[in-house]
Structure 1
Amino acid sequence: MKTVKNLIKVTLIVSLTLLLISCSEDSPVKVDTEKNAADIQEYISKLSYNPDQMLNVQSTGGEESTREVLEDTSSTITSGNITTICRQTTYNLKKNFDQIAILRPTTGIVWAGALVKGNQSLMDGIPEPIGIERAPITFSVNLPGMGANGTRTVNNPAASSVQAAIDSSLEWWNNNAYVDGYVNAANSSFHLGTSYSSKQLSLDVDLNAEWASGSVSTQFNYFSSETKKVVMAVFKQAFYDVIFDTPISPEKVFSEETTLSKVQSVINDATAPAYIKSVTYGRIIMFRMETTNTFKSADVQAAFEYAAGFSVDGSLKATYDEILQESSIDLVTIGGNAAVATEPISSANSNSATTILQKIQSVISGENALYSKNNPGVPIGYSVFYLKDNSLAKLGYTTEYTANECVTTQNSNTFNIYLGNFSVIKDCDGIEGGGEFYFKVQFLDENNNVLANGFNKYLDVYDPYNYLINQTKTFTMPRTIGKKVVVKLICYESDKDILGNVYYDSRMNGATISGIHSYNSNGTWSGTSPSSRSIEIGKDTNCNVKLHYSITYQ
């Protein structure tokens, strides 16, 4: 009997166990996704952080950057005919960025929709991913003519799956919109700066050396000195953007299975959650120009703007041509995954200004400035927004640097004026006989003061006739605005009447003509390029003479 009772007990226990197992298999414990999502939303919305402090946002009064003078000194050294004025100015440069340029390898980290931490890693240009399971994401590619074909949804977002979806959109554009005549020229931005320190230069050209590594970083290690100027110009040419749809609420970016504890283990006040809102694809091209320190920084920068096709003061083109011809210019391109290629454009005194202009402008606006299947561009920059409130994450940087600007000038120029032929084109006497000429050449300043001994000569000749003077006159002139070098020709022609009385032809009775060469604000003398000149009296008459001369200075 006792055995039967024990058997019944065992049977009941086994039955209950099987029943519990069966219930567990048929009715699994469900996660309350709605409550979980609400908890995550509440947690993120209550995160307390100061984005301006976290990312060092600078007070710039709404401007992209500000530059404050901290100290300003100058010195002057005169040695003979040369004066050198050096000005040392210490600045505090502040700049905020809305977009981070890709200047170091970020493959697998930077993609539209990626979750990243809004901490120091952003400041360093290599964002730290947030490794939490994701909900599907939607993004768009903004090539013209793309329409709905540019919008893609990725169910399991990661760098590889997002890139595959981007490739699919681009393939559609290449096979359809491009064929239909849509062309997408680059949207180009341009920044220019003179180099005094690597950080200052990088901020001025909108790149920031703190984001760079390896061969990109070394491009900022060329500095101006007392003997040379270094200028860098940067073109960011954007072909298209990949834009992540703004999440309507923070928790929507996570998988439904993501728990609050998982979020709390990764995200806190010190690591504010953010996302990559957009990634720009295109190319970054840099021109580095080095020239002698006899030119002002502003003039060197303006010379490159001129070379790049920007409108400049026409009266200064001769100066800009000179700067370009005396400069060495290198092209630096940043390719996929921040790979660098360097190519010389011109070395000092090796090419004409026209050739340099053509080379630079062909790089800027050539076929590689257009998106195409064979020229798809690479990721060149990205913007980051905070997940908490979808606000832009600005990044601020500051640096102090000293600009040492030395300008060396000559106080005067030494002129050499070579007198060539005095030409009698028409002898004033028609067919009746030759002409009896007396002419003299004077060298005067703007106040008619004599600069050098003149030349005079009597000639009794028939036209046409060339008399070679073959003399050089040398003198010195101050390099002062308003100063003038005047080459003056005075000519007489005499005849005799039937009684043998001498009289002067009224058309050549002390007739004068002058070549005037004035000192200009651009540091040159007018009318000296080309150096060969001529002045003429009585053009297109039968009483016509001309003086040929050349004028050079140093």
Structure 2
Amino acid sequence: MKKYLAILISILIFYSCSDTTGPTKPAKDIDDLVRNAGVVNTSVVTEKDEKVSEETQLNVLEGVKKWNIKLTKKSLAWNLDNNIIPFNNPNANTLWAGALVQGNEVPNGILNSIGDNLSRTPLTITVQSGSGNLGNNIIEKPSNANYSKVLQDILDKNVTKCTAKQYLTVQIAHSKQQACIKLGFSANWLTGSLSTNFETNNSSEQKSIYLLFKQVYFTVSVNEPTKPSDYFGDNIKLEDLNYFVKPNNPLCYVASVDYGRLILVKMTYNENITSTELDAKVKLAFSAYEVGGDYKTTDIESKSTFECLILGGSNGGAAKALGSMNLNGILDLIKAESEYTPNTPAYPISYVVKNLADNSIVKLGESTEYTVKEYTENREDYQTFDFYLSQFNIIDDGNFWGDGKFFYKIQIIDKNGNLLKDVNDKDIIIQTDKFNYIKVGDGGKITLTNGIIKGVALKKQSGEQFTVSAQIWDYDADTDLEIHQAGKQGNIYNYPSWNNDFNNWIYMNLVPDAGDYNIQFIYRIEKK
């Protein structure tokens, strides 16, 4: 009997020692805890950009000119899905796909980790680029260090070269806060000297515009859990989470991270121009950028100054202000490192955070008020003219055989010999060349089809004047290819009488350098 009892005890001890059943996580309790804590909710910030008030200030002296200034106060609120990295980078050790973070500071761009020592289930990360899927792999024990090792392994095995996805966002800057919000980040993330360099300039002769160039080498995403407890291992204890997860601090996770470069440019345009006109100029200049084309030449470069800030790429994790640059320098900077290779540093530049409770995206809310200033020069001290430049009368074409072959130039110039500008700020000059001559004989005429010039303004002051100048040449295209000055003349108009030559057609006789040419230029001026 004792023998059988000893065998029975041995069997019981064997089975007791052979029981492989480990701890079981309290899945339902974890799910309830996370879901009851709720979600990070920024729905109270409704996207809007609406007018609050409007006023006009008349006859304001700014510089040497007087202006009428239209002030439109606006209220801006915005929700951001994809959060750009704060330029002061407080998240260096917590930003990785799959990281669990506390929700209370997420809207402020701060990712407070709940630590890497909690029991986690394995995660799968997937790496995508503009070239397609670069691979995926499992992180057996999720942590920042293990994530970095697995990601580097995917890149080492699968990447030789891939072209960055490129995005360009252009935003007129009425205030630094307004421009940054619309570009996708908080102005509070520009600190110290970075903040100073990116203050906006808005005056009668200056306007600021921000350009954000985003180059994404690749994006890392993590598998989405079906329920909150899926992200925790069997050794997790409810009390491990109770300290962090509360109704005012929901649990979130980093769903994806973009790696690449950000280049932020502040452009200051030095001329009075409306916001709409400036926006169109800049977008035209860079219209080919996103499809790999070149910058289109406009007057942007000659009339602008540039400040540049770079985050990522070979510059690494610290945002670096590159100071004043010319446009070619910025374009070279954009083109450099536009492809990712194993030798190109990959730095996180933006990320998406989701609520662990329901996998909804945490939208980052930001709001501000700003004022739009539009300047119109006060013209009370100016006289405005409209010009109707009609035709040349060829009374004698100066040719014994055949007809004359004429080309011409008409200008309206100021007292210093500079071209005046029309209401659209275009130089007043109408001209053709010898390769586009017009053949006309005695008694004929050359009619101008583009000779109506409106809105030319001159200041009412002593010594002010303008000149209507006309020149015409005869090109001997059939024989010796010589060019003969067939006539030239300029009528001068002085303040205050302006010669009283208004509303009547003026027949201005042109004086040739030589020959028998007899040509008139006909025009009319209306004083408004």
Q: Tell me, yes or no, whether TM beats 0.5.
A: yes
- Give the 5 Å matches for 1:147-166: 150-166=135-151
The answer for the alignment partner of 1:198 in structure 2 is: 176
- Describe the shift of the 1:512–1:475 C-alpha distance in structure 2 as closer, same or farther (beyond 3 A): farther
Among candidates 63, 67, 72, match of residue 89 of structure 1: 72
The answer for the alignment partner of 2:514 in structure 1 is: none
The answer for the alignment partner of 1:371 in structure 2 is: 340
Do the aligned partners of 2:472 and 2:486 also contact (CA within 8 Å) in 1? Answer: yes
- Give the 5 Å matches for 1:22-421: 32-33=23-24, 36-45=26-35, 47-49=36-38, 51-52=40-41, 55=42, 57-60=44-47, 66-77=48-59, 84-103=67-86, 104-105=88-89, 106-119=91-104, 121-131=105-115, 132-143=118-129, 150-174=135-159, 178=160, 183-310=161-288, 321-335=298-312, 336-346=316-326, 356=327, 359-364=329-334, 366-408=335-377, 411=382
Q: Could you tell me which amino acid in structure 2 is paired with residue 262 of structure 1?
A: D
- Give the 5 Å matches for 1:367-516: 367-408=336-377, 411=382, 428-429=399-400, 479-480=422-423, 508-513=441-446
- Kindly state the Cα deviation for residue 519 of structure 1 after the two structures are TM-superposed: 3.5
TM-score by length of 2: 0.68
- Describe the shift of the 1:140–1:82 C-alpha distance in structure 2 as closer, same or farther (beyond 3 A): same
Q: Could you tell me which amino acid in structure 2 is paired with residue 388 of structure 1?
A: A
Local SS of the residue matching 1:279: strand
TM-score by length of 1: 0.65
Do the aligned partners of 1:238 and 1:282 also contact (CA within 8 Å) in 2? Answer: yes
How big is each residue's C-alpha offset from its partner over 1:171-194, in whole Å with a ceiling of 9 and x where there is no partner?
1123xxx3xxxx532222222223
The answer for the alignment partner of 2:511 in structure 1 is: none
**Could you tell me how far apart the structure 2 residues matched to 1:375 and 1:163 are?**
16
How big is each residue's C-alpha offset from its partner over 1:325-370, in whole Å with a ceiling of 9 and x where there is no partner?
1211232211333421314332xxxxxxxxx4x5554443x24222
Relative to its length, the structure with more helix (as a share) is 1
- Kindly state the Cα deviation for residue 43 of structure 1 after the two structures are TM-superposed: 2.8
Do the aligned partners of 2:206 and 2:268 also contact (CA within 8 Å) in 1? Answer: yes
| Matched-pair identity in % | 22
- Kindly state the Cα deviation for residue 385 of structure 1 after the two structures are TM-superposed: 0.8
The answer for the alignment partner of 1:501 in structure 2 is: none
Do the aligned partners of 2:130 and 2:164 also contact (CA within 8 Å) in 1? Answer: no
Local SS of the residue matching 2:129: coil
- Describe the shift of the 1:388–1:476 C-alpha distance in structure 2 as closer, same or farther (beyond 3 A): closer
RMSD over aligned Cα atoms: 4.7
**Could you tell me how far apart the structure 2 residues matched to 1:165 and 1:276 are?**
17
Point out where structure 2 has 5 or more consecutive residues left out of the alignment: 1-9, 290-294, 387-396, 432-438, 458-467, 493-528
- Kindly state the Cα deviation for residue 536 of structure 1 after the two structures are TM-superposed: 4.0
- Kindly state the Cα deviation for residue 240 of structure 1 after the two structures are TM-superposed: 0.7
**Could you tell me how far apart the structure 2 residues matched to 1:48 and 1:273 are?**
8
Local SS of the residue matching 1:44: helix
Do the aligned partners of 1:58 and 1:396 also contact (CA within 8 Å) in 2? Answer: yes
**Could you tell me how far apart the structure 2 residues matched to 1:240 and 1:522 are?**
54
Do the aligned partners of 1:112 and 1:276 also contact (CA within 8 Å) in 2? Answer: yes
Q: Could you tell me which amino acid in structure 2 is paired with residue 368 of structure 1?
A: E
**Could you tell me how far apart the structure 2 residues matched to 1:549 and 1:329 are?**
44
- Kindly state the Cα deviation for residue 68 of structure 1 after the two structures are TM-superposed: 0.7
Q: Could you tell me which amino acid in structure 2 is paired with residue 252 of structure 1?
A: D
- Kindly state the Cα deviation for residue 212 of structure 1 after the two structures are TM-superposed: 4.4
Do the aligned partners of 2:130 and 2:163 also contact (CA within 8 Å) in 1? Answer: no
- Kindly state the Cα deviation for residue 208 of structure 1 after the two structures are TM-superposed: 1.8
The answer for the alignment partner of 2:460 in structure 1 is: none
- Describe the shift of the 1:340–1:306 C-alpha distance in structure 2 as closer, same or farther (beyond 3 A): same
How big is each residue's C-alpha offset from its partner over 1:16-52, in whole Å with a ceiling of 9 and x where there is no partner?
xxx9xx99x9599976505x2232223323x153543
**Could you tell me how far apart the structure 2 residues matched to 1:294 and 1:482 are?**
10
Do the aligned partners of 1:241 and 1:280 also contact (CA within 8 Å) in 2? Answer: yes
Local SS of the residue matching 1:163: helix
Local SS of the residue matching 2:400: coil
- Describe the shift of the 1:323–1:256 C-alpha distance in structure 2 as closer, same or farther (beyond 3 A): same
- Kindly state the Cα deviation for residue 197 of structure 1 after the two structures are TM-superposed: 2.6
Q: Could you tell me which amino acid in structure 1 is paired with residue 376 of structure 2?
A: V
Local SS of the residue matching 1:396: strand
**Could you tell me how far apart the structure 1 residues matched to 2:167 and 2:50 are?**
25
- Describe the shift of the 1:428–1:41 C-alpha distance in structure 2 as closer, same or farther (beyond 3 A): closer
- Kindly state the Cα deviation for residue 480 of structure 1 after the two structures are TM-superposed: 5.0
Do the aligned partners of 1:56 and 1:397 also contact (CA within 8 Å) in 2? Answer: no
- Describe the shift of the 1:443–1:340 C-alpha distance in structure 2 as closer, same or farther (beyond 3 A): closer
Local SS of the residue matching 2:442: strand
**Could you tell me how far apart the structure 2 residues matched to 1:110 and 1:127 are?**
7
Number of residue pairs matched? Answer: 432
- Describe the shift of the 1:86–1:262 C-alpha distance in structure 2 as closer, same or farther (beyond 3 A): same
**Could you tell me how far apart the structure 1 residues matched to 2:264 and 2:31 are?**
44
The answer for the alignment partner of 2:472 in structure 1 is: 535
- Describe the shift of the 1:429–1:30 C-alpha distance in structure 2 as closer, same or farther (beyond 3 A): closer
How big is each residue's C-alpha offset from its partner over 1:380-410, in whole Å with a ceiling of 9 and x where there is no partner?
0110111111111111111111222223377
How big is each residue's C-alpha offset from its partner over 1:498-527, in whole Å with a ceiling of 9 and x where there is no partner?
xxxxxxxx975344446765537999xxxx
- Kindly state the Cα deviation for residue 224 of structure 1 after the two structures are TM-superposed: 2.1
Q: Could you tell me which amino acid in structure 2 is paired with residue 40 of structure 1?
A: I
Asked if 1:519 is matched to 2:453, the reply is yes
- Describe the shift of the 1:536–1:215 C-alpha distance in structure 2 as closer, same or farther (beyond 3 A): same
**Could you tell me how far apart the structure 2 residues matched to 1:486 and 1:206 are?**
45
- Describe the shift of the 1:195–1:476 C-alpha distance in structure 2 as closer, same or farther (beyond 3 A): closer
- Kindly state the Cα deviation for residue 548 of structure 1 after the two structures are TM-superposed: 7.1
- Describe the shift of the 1:428–1:82 C-alpha distance in structure 2 as closer, same or farther (beyond 3 A): same
The answer for the alignment partner of 2:394 in structure 1 is: none
- Describe the shift of the 1:427–1:326 C-alpha distance in structure 2 as closer, same or farther (beyond 3 A): same
Point out where structure 1 has 5 or more consecutive residues left out of the alignment: 1-18, 61-65, 312-316, 347-355, 416-425, 446-450, 453-471, 489-505, 524-530
**Could you tell me how far apart the structure 1 residues matched to 2:351 and 2:456 are?**
43
